[in-house]
Structure 1
Amino acid sequence: MKVAVLLPCFNEEAAIAQTIAGFREHLPDATVYVFDNNSKDRTVEIAREHGAVTRSVPLQGKGNVVRRMFADIDADVYVMADGDLTYDPSAAPEMVRRLWDEQLDMVVGTRHHEEDEAYRGGHVLGNKAFTGLLAWLFGRSFSDIFSGYRAFSRRYAKSFPALSAGFETETEMSVHALELRMPVGEVATKYGARPDGSESKLNTFRDGWRILKTIGTLFRVEEPRAFYGTLAAAIQLTAIGLAIPLFITFFQTGLVPRLPTAVLVTGMTIVALLTFFAGLTLAAIKRARTETRRLAYLAQPAPGDETD
């Protein structure tokens, strides 16, 4: 079994050495890769000094890094964690074991923190809200959809399109697994505070808004019948609400005095029908896209079936 530890990094010289050492201790047979995303400090130099294989990704953003990681590295199991020492390397062997022995495609390291500095209250609340939203929209979800600590099978890595550019990539990862009905699991792991000199790159409001837009886009793309059907129903119900007074007046007087409203209602009804049928058409296209992704997924052997 070939295991690759993938560490996306940006200005992590305060933490990268300990992060690499931790994963090399707990996964001694794994190759540790540091994917540097335009660091301005000594992250790359320190990573090389501690035995990691370094790669550079010029396009800024974690999603761009993930795209390169999965495209460039060939392994049986991929373990991804941020290079800021917040994730506990001792959980990695259990994540790899479960993925391999149970033939899972993704194992999420669900975060449990004991230090207030590790996980701000606003982030905890936002995580719960977005996790609930994802479960409501897609029928099921994970306990921690924003965790950056995950183990993947080769099947997952080579079928994941990685279209996002930034921190919304974790949401895209979760939806990809849900839409292809992949076997997944979760392992509880400690989440610690960053060491001195390491700063979070996550902006609560800016990245929260980007994540919300990503969820909306993924819902529109992955569930077009539900999205466009709901939109069509909302337009049609509004049109009916506007039409009720017109019908009452017509039955009482035989006249339609508010012609502009009647034209508006007619137009909204046409738009509702077009929206509904657009959803049906896009659902057929989405099915074809899902079949293509499924074939890419099936082209790779399942975890545990490869030759060690």
Structure 2
Amino acid sequence: MPEDSASWYPELLSIVIPCFNEEATLGQVLDRVRSAPPVDMHRQIIVVDDGSTDASVAIAEAVPSDATTRIEVIRQPSNQGKGAAVRAGLARAQGDLVIIQDADLEYDPDDYPALLAPFSDPEVHVVYGSRILGSRNSSYWQYYWGGRLVTFVANLLYGSHLTDEPTCYKVFRRELIQSIPLEAVGFEFCPEVTAKLLRRRIPIHEVPIRYHPRSFEEGKKISWRDGLIAIKTLWRHRWS
């Protein structure tokens, strides 16, 4: 295993990809996840289809496994929500580390080396990719304030110093994330896992990432209502 933190990677990385009607982008995401650096890293790609009615399942099942990459497809019986899909993927994960990867091309798998590097320190257990610390294009700002509000509430309630709580890019040591009882069904997965980590006083490290938001016309599914649910979730778990 490389000792230089800039080139550190786990023996096996599990990548959980929740998916609902993402036929337009899923194939590209899988190609980029397979080829993301470091290229010789072994990876377990777990696509969790959340009741898609398009060709998402067929696209995922058509991707072959190879010597370094194992593709697994989980089919949910119905559309249950992102949180339910992520939890199903986490239960199947076998890697040393687990990363959540959206299926919509908003997050760049080329950021994997930056996300993995902090884990060269055995005391690091969780890393979030921060869009605030990273480069942003102009379309990001229409979603900026909602995420900042959720992050502010998380910091206020838990005494943390996060810059981007709602980020998709969350990386965990597998033993840790599988030890946390999670209940989320929808987009409230993010605030639930953050709340439960902070309640355990587990430090969350952040690294800069790139972000390319899509519009609602292009298929973006999260809305301002999900931000309100996130705040409610953070509050509930703070006092539960």
TM range, smaller chain? 0.7 to 0.9
Cα deviation, residue 197, structure 1: 7.8
Contact 2:188 2:226 in 1 (8 A): yes
Aligned-partner SS, 2:202? coil
State yes or no: 1:170 paired with 2:206: no
**What residue identity is the alignment partner of 1:209?**
L
Change (3 A) 1:186 1:93: same
Contact 2:93 2:174 in 1 (8 A): no
Alignment map for 1:1-308 (pairs within 5 Å): 1-27=11-37, 28=39, 29-51=42-64, 52-58=71-77, 60-111=80-131, 112=134, 114-117=136-139, 119-121=140-142, 123-194=143-214, 198-204=218-224, 206-221=225-240
Cα deviation, 1:252-271, whole Å, max 9, x if unaligned, reads xxxxxxxxxxxxxxxxxxxx
Contact 1:35 1:65 in 2 (8 A): yes
Change (3 A) 1:100 1:65: farther
Contact 2:97 2:171 in 1 (8 A): yes
Cα deviation, 1:157-197, whole Å, max 9, x if unaligned, reads 21121112111111111112211122431111100133998
Change (3 A) 1:180 1:57: same
CA distance in 1, matches of 2:153, 2:216: 34
Q: Under a length normalisation based on structure 2, what TM-score does the superposition of the two structures give?
A: 0.83
Change (3 A) 1:23 1:33: same
Structure 1 unaligned segments of length 5 or more: list them.
Answer: 222-308
Task: Please identify which structure carries the higher helix content.
Answer: 1
CA distance in 2, matches of 1:48, 1:120: 36
Cα deviation, residue 115, structure 1: 2.9
Give the structure, 1 or 2, with the largest relative contact order (CA under 8 Å, sep 6 or more): 2
CA distance in 2, matches of 1:8, 1:24: 16
Larger Rg: 1
Identity fraction in percent:
29
Cα deviation, residue 2, structure 1: 1.6
Greater shift, 2-11 or 190-199, is seen at 190-199
CA distance in 2, matches of 1:198, 1:57: 24
Aligned-partner SS, 2:208? strand
**Aligned counterpart, 1:296:** none
Cα deviation, 1:35-78, whole Å, max 9, x if unaligned, reads 11111111111122233321112351111112212222222111
Structure 2 unaligned segments of length 5 or more: list them.
Answer: 1-10, 65-70
Count of residue pairs brought into register by the alignment: 218
Contact 2:12 2:95 in 1 (8 A): yes
Aligned-partner SS, 1:5? strand
CA distance in 2, matches of 1:83, 1:106: 21
CA distance in 2, matches of 1:196, 1:136: 30
Aligned-partner SS, 2:147? helix
**What residue identity is the alignment partner of 2:32?**
G
CA distance in 1, matches of 2:173, 2:120: 8
CA distance in 2, matches of 1:93, 1:198: 28
Aligned-partner SS, 1:99? helix
Contact 1:108 1:186 in 2 (8 A): yes
Cα deviation, 1:190-214, whole Å, max 9, x if unaligned, reads 001339984011122x212211221
CA distance in 2, matches of 1:84, 1:65: 15
- Alpha-carbon RMSD across the aligned residues, in angstroms, is 2.1
